[in-house]
Amino acid sequence: MEDNLYQEQILDRYHHPHHLGEIKDATFKLEGANRSCGDELQIYIQTDDQLITDARFTAHACAVCTASADLTLDRIIGQPTTTIDSLTADNVKESIGIPLSPIRLKCALLPLETLRGYKPNDNT
C-alpha cells in the first residue's frame, strides 16, 4: 500500500512539478543527460551569499527523473550551497520511496549527478 502512495507522488510530481521552469538570471545553469534512456535535464540555481534562494529545472525526461528532480530541488532550496555536496544516492532513493530497477535508478539519480557539476566559483 505504501508503494502506491509513492507511485502516486511520482506521477503527481511528473504532471505537476513544483519547480519546473527556467530562472533567466540564474547564478548557475547545469545540464545533464542519461544517454541510455534519453533523459535530458537542465537545472537553474539562484544563490545569494552562499544560500540557494531558488532552483528550477526543465527536462525532457521520464516520470522518475522528473519527480526526482523536483524532490531533489525541494531539499536544496533555502539551504546553504554546501548542501549540494552532502546529497547522496540514498537521499534520492529515500525521496522516491519505492524500489527501483537499475535502469530506473539511473533515471532517479540524474538530477543528483547533474547537481554534482555545481562549482560555486563558476559563473556559468
- The CATH number assigned to the domain holding 22 equals 3.90.1010.10
In this predicted structure, the answer to whether residue 1 has a pLDDT above a threshold of 70 is no
Residue 123 has what pLDDT?
Answer: 47
Identify the domain containing residue 88 by its residue range. 2-115
Burial of 19 (0-12, 13-18, 19+ CB in 10 A): buried
Cα–Cα distance for residue pair 116/110, rounded to 1 Å = 10
Q: Per-residue pLDDT averaged across 43-61, rounded? A: 96
Q: Per-residue pLDDT averaged across 11-34, rounded? A: 93
Residues 6+ apart with CB under 8 A from 105: 93
Q: Does the residue 121 lie in any domain?
A: no
In this predicted structure, the answer to whether residue 94 has a pLDDT above a threshold of 70 is yes
Residue 10 has what pLDDT?
Answer: 85
**Distance set, CA 29 to CA 18, 43, 60, 114 (Å):** 18, 6, 16, 10
Q: Per-residue pLDDT averaged across 23-30, rounded? A: 95
Residue 78 has what pLDDT?
Answer: 97
Cα–Cα distance for residue pair 5/23, rounded to 1 Å = 31
Q: Does the residue 10 lie in any domain?
A: yes
Residues 45, 25 contacting (CB under 8 angstroms): no
pTM score: 0.88
- Residue 43: enclosing H or E segment and its boundaries? strand 39-48
Q: Per-residue pLDDT averaged across 93-120, rounded? A: 89
Q: Does the residue 68 lie in any domain?
A: yes
pLDDT band at residue 6 under the 50/70/90 scheme? low
pLDDT band at residue 124 under the 50/70/90 scheme? very low
Q: Does the residue 54 lie in any domain?
A: yes
DSSP string, 17-30: -SSBS--TT-SEEE
In the chain, how many domains are there?
1
